[in-house]
Every structure is written in structure tokens, then in C-alpha cells.
Amino acid sequence: MPAKILVVDDDPNVQRLLQYTLKQEGYDVVVAADGAEGFRLWGAEAPNLILLDVMLPTLDGYQVATKIRAEEAPNTHVPIIMLTAEREVEQKVRGLRAGADDYLIKPFHPAELLARIKSLLARFAPRETLLARPPLGRILAFYPAKGGVGSTTIAINAAIALHRELGRKVCLVDGNLQFGDHRVFLDLGLDRKSIVDVVSAPAIDPDLIKSVLVKHDSGIDLLLAPPSPETAELVRPEHLPQIAEMLRAMYDYVLIDVDKRLDDVNLGVFEAAEIVFVVMTADLSCLKNVRLILETMHHLGYPAAKVQLVLNRSNAFTGISVKNAEGALRRTIDHQVVNEYRGAISALNSGAPFMFTKADSALGGSLLQFARTVDKPAATVAALVPAR
């Protein structure tokens, strides 16, 4: 398991910066905005390390450090790095006397912070939490059983959940080449580079792909679909698998959102993918399509575990229960995402995905559970890899 770091700071900007920096490295992050909450979370969350601001409401950093050291169990020691804008030697000495193990003066470089964190974890944490998780390079495809089932919404928000909540490095590819919606759903203009800039080059290599990727405010990287339907013809069936393989070496997860056609382009994506998530809803026309898709996947020789069903809007009333849907399909539905239409449509219309702006909603919680389930096999594999 990755190391868990408790950030205690009342400045929202500092909180966001530290969360982003630490999650990029694969750490789990817990945040408190005042000293009393920080002390409570130390007891409740058992972090592997604490980043503790000096100037805090309710209890200041010195008081929090003193209380933690007074109440730690025998033979236990959580490393504490104190953060302060004060450069006076007396303040540093006071922090060390209160129980801090290290001291950083704001503003500091993220590289210095990460180096000090790894050094302290090496001294005090169990071996399996010394470093962030290794890259995984998993390629996942999201395929809609029919139009309007929410496949793109799930792909976008799953990518953000894997990155922001689980600390994974994620690239999201808009594989709906003619009518990709990622520009709209993520509030990006037509002037952004796209896959056309990759396939139009004399040769495709990782450096070229990096220059074309678009960074979203949520922290995920994007490879956008062509800006117009006619330019989609420039992308040949072999291009997406080739690009995905290069991205695999650069990211923990490569999520490819495709349209509902079973053409050579999508079949190439399916071949490259570890898992194909077939997104569906509980209505008759969709169930009919899912049965045909499952039969096609079987005829193509794909193992059953490669194709997983995602029931979107699972609690919406359609007259067909989950049990009835499973009976009609003669197989279990692997994942369910709840229905919260207003939240989903509001996020789409505002260009702000709900996992980025309202992750604590019921829909956000459902997507996070989906992301955690998807990530479980990866976490199991990562835990077996020795720290480097």
C-alpha cells in the first residue's frame, strides 16, 4: 500500500498544491484545515507522515506536534515536517523541540519536499510504504452499448477519480474520432492539438505524443479527437493501438473512450485494451445490443474477464431490475453507477466534471467506488513489487 500523508494547513491554495504534488507521486493524502482536526485525523487515519503548518486555527503546529508526541504509543513514531514562513532559528528550534523531525520554509520547491518525505519514510515507515506505487501501464476501453448511455461521462470521471483520489497518473484518449465530446465536456477550445497532429507527422514517437497532449485542470492528460469529422479519416485503424502502447509506458492508466461502432478502429482498441467496459442502461434496446456485443466478443475469442459490464443510472426506474437485466443477459453485471441526472447534466453543460468539482456527491461516490474496484487488481500487483 502507498504511504498516507496527512496535510495540516489552513491555506486552501497550499492544500491544493500539496494534494496535487503528493498524489502525482502516488501517495494517499488526507487534509485538515486546523490544528484540532489535524490531531483528530492523526488518531483516526494513522498517517505515515504529517506535513504540519505552524500557524493554524484552534491549535497551532507546535501544540499539535507536542500532543502527538505525548500520546503516541510506545515504539511508534510518525515523522512530522513542519511548514512555516518564518526563517528565524528560534522558530525552527521550537518546532524541533515540539517533536518535528524536519522543517521547511515557505515557499519551497516540490522536489525538495518530496526528497525530504522519502528520506523520513525511509527512516521510519515500513518498507512497503517507502515509495509511491510503480507505473502500471494499464489500457482500458469504454464502449457504449448504444448512444446516450453515459459512456463518455463515466470515462472522463473515472479518469479523474483514478488520478485525484487514487494518485494514479492517467491519460484519457477521445477515441470517438468523428464526433468526440471531450472538448465540450471539459470546456476546451477547437484550437487545442489533437490526435491529427500525431498521425500527420512523418513518424510517431513518445516525444511527439507528449507535445500534443493537453493538460486538464484536474491533473489528467488528454489526447483529443480530431476537431472536425472530415479530419477523422486521417486516423487509420493501426494508429490508436500504436499510440496506446506508447502511452502505456508513460502512464499508470490509459483510458480510451470510443464510439458504438464495431469497426476496424474500435476492434484495434479492443485488442490493445486489458479490459473493455461495455456501458449500458437497463432498457430493452440496450439489453438487445449488449447481448449482440457479448456474442461478438466471444466470437472474436476474447476471454470473459476482458469484457465487463457497467450499468449506468442503476437506480433509475426503467421497469427492468438489475436482477432481470442479468437474467436476460445470462451473466452478472460487473459494475453499477447510480443515477443523479441533474448533477450529471449540470456538470456536462458547465464543462466541469463532477469528480473534479463535486466529488463528494452521491454520483461522485459511486464513480469513486467504480475506480477503486478497477484499481484493486493493480494495487495487488503493485504491492508485490519491491520498493526501489
Q: How confident is residue 116, by pLDDT bands cut at 50, 70 and 90?
A: confident
Residue 359 falls in which region: left (phi positive, over 0), alpha (psi -120 to 50) or beta: alpha
Q: How confident is residue 384, by pLDDT bands cut at 50, 70 and 90?
A: very low
- Measured in degrees and rounded to the nearest 5, phi and psi for residue 237 equal -55, -35
Is the Cβ–Cβ distance between 21 and 108 less than 8 Å? Answer: no
Mean pLDDT, residues 113-134: 67
How far is Cα 136 from Cα 210, in angstroms, rounded to an integer? 18
How far is Cα 368 from Cα 374, in angstroms, rounded to an integer? 10
What is the C-alpha radius of gyration for the chain, rounded to an integer number of angstroms? 23
**Domain regions of the chain by residue span:** 4-129, 138-383
**Which tens digit of pLDDT belongs to each residue from 246-292?**
999 899 999 999 999 989 999 999 999 999 999 999 999 999 999 99
| pLDDT for 382 beyond 50 | no
**Which tens digit of pLDDT belongs to each residue from 18-77?**
999 999 888 999 999 999 999 999 999 899 999 999 999 999 999 999 999 999 888 889
Bridge partners, residue 370, by sequence: none
According to DSSP, residue 195 is labeled: H
Q: Where are the alpha helices (DSSP H) in the chain?
A: 12-24, 35-45, 61-71, 89-98, 110-124, 151-160, 182-185, 195-199, 206-212, 239-248, 264-272, 284-299, 322-329, 341-350, 354-357, 362-383
**Longest Cα separation, the chain:** 73
**Which tens digit of pLDDT belongs to each residue from 301-357?**
999 889 999 999 887 778 888 999 999 999 999 999 998 767 777 776 677 788 887
How far is Cα 167 from Cα 321, in angstroms, rounded to an integer? 35
Pair type for strands 214-215 and 221-223: antiparallel
Domain 138-383 has CATH 3.40.50.300: yes
Q: Is the pTM here over 0.85, yes or no? A: no
Provide CATH code, domain 4-129: 3.40.50.2300
